Structure 1
Amino acid sequence: MDRLDGIRRRHEASLAATVGSFAQHVIYRSTKDHVCPICGGAKKSGYACCISCSTHQHSPHKALLADTVRIFAYAPMECSGDASHQMTRYMYRYKENRPDSERARAAIEEILVTELVLRWGCIKEVSGGVAPTAWATIPSTINSPRAGVEHPLHRIVRQVLPSVPEVGLRAAGVKSRSLSPDLFQLEGEYAPNTLRHVLLIDDTWTTGGNVQSAAVALKRAGAQRVTVFCVARVVNYAFCASIGEGVANGFRSLPFRGGNWCPWHCVRES
Structure 2
Amino acid sequence: MATVVGLSARYTNFLVHPLPPGPEVCQVCRGPAKVGYPTCWPCHETGRLLGNGVADAVVPVSLALKGEQYANELWRYKNAAGPQQQHFRMGSAAVLWRFLVLHEKCLTDHCAIAAFDTVTTVPSTSGRRDHPLRSMVADMVGTTRDRHRDLLTPTPEAADLGRSVSAERFASSALWGENVLLIDDTWTTGSRAQSAAAALKAAGADCVAVVVLGRHLNIDYGNTAGHVENARMRRFSWEACPTRPWRHG
TM value normalised by structure 2: 0.87
**How far apart in 2 are the matches of 1:244 and 1:265?**
23
Q: CA deviation at 1:17?
A: 2.1
Q: CA deviation at 1:107?
A: 1.9
Deviation readout 1:29-86 (Å, 9 max, x if unpaired): 35xx222121011111111111111111222x21111001100111112x1xxxxx11
**How far apart in 1 are the matches of 2:115 and 2:87?**
30
Q: Is 1:179 matched with 2:179?
A: no
Gaps of 5+ in 1: 1-9, 80-84
Match of 1:109 among 87, 93, 110: 93
Partner of 2:79: helix, strand, or coil? coil
Higher Cα radius of gyration: 1
**Which residue number corresponds to residue 106 of structure 2?**
122
1:15–1:259 contact (8 Å) kept in structure 2: no
Partner of 1:237: helix, strand, or coil? coil
Q: Is 1:189 matched with 2:174?
A: yes
1:35–1:41 contact (8 Å) kept in structure 2: yes
**How far apart in 1 are the matches of 2:131 and 2:75?**
13
**Which residue number corresponds to residue 22 of structure 1?**
14
**Which residue number corresponds to residue 71 of structure 1?**
60
**Which residue number corresponds to residue 246 of structure 2?**
267
**Bigger helix fraction:** 2
**How far apart in 1 are the matches of 2:13 and 2:134?**
27
Q: CA deviation at 1:264?
A: 3.8
Q: CA deviation at 1:145?
A: 4.4
**Which residue number corresponds to residue 3 of structure 1?**
none
Q: Is 1:34 matched with 2:24?
A: yes
Partner of 2:13: helix, strand, or coil? coil
**How far apart in 2 are the matches of 1:243 and 1:258?**
25
Q: Pairwise mapping of residues 126-137 of structure 1 onto structure 2 (< 5 A)?
A: 126-137=110-121
**Percent same amino acid among aligned pairs?**
31
- RMSD of aligned C-alpha atoms? 2.3
- Sort the Cα spacing of 1:189 and 1:14 in 2 relative to 1 into closer, same or farther, 3 A: same
**Which residue number corresponds to residue 47 of structure 1?**
37
- Sort the Cα spacing of 1:165 and 1:104 in 2 relative to 1 into closer, same or farther, 3 A: closer
Letter in 2 for 1:189: A
Match of 2:204 among 222, 225, 233: 222
**Which residue number corresponds to residue 123 of structure 2?**
139
**Which residue number corresponds to residue 133 of structure 2?**
153
**How far apart in 2 are the matches of 1:110 and 1:151?**
17
**Which residue number corresponds to residue 97 of structure 1?**
80
Deviation readout 1:77-105 (Å, 9 max, x if unpaired): 2x1xxxxx110111100012334332321
Please identify runs of 4+ aligned residues in structure 1 that moved more than 6 A: none
Gaps of 5+ in 2: none
Letter in 2 for 1:232: G
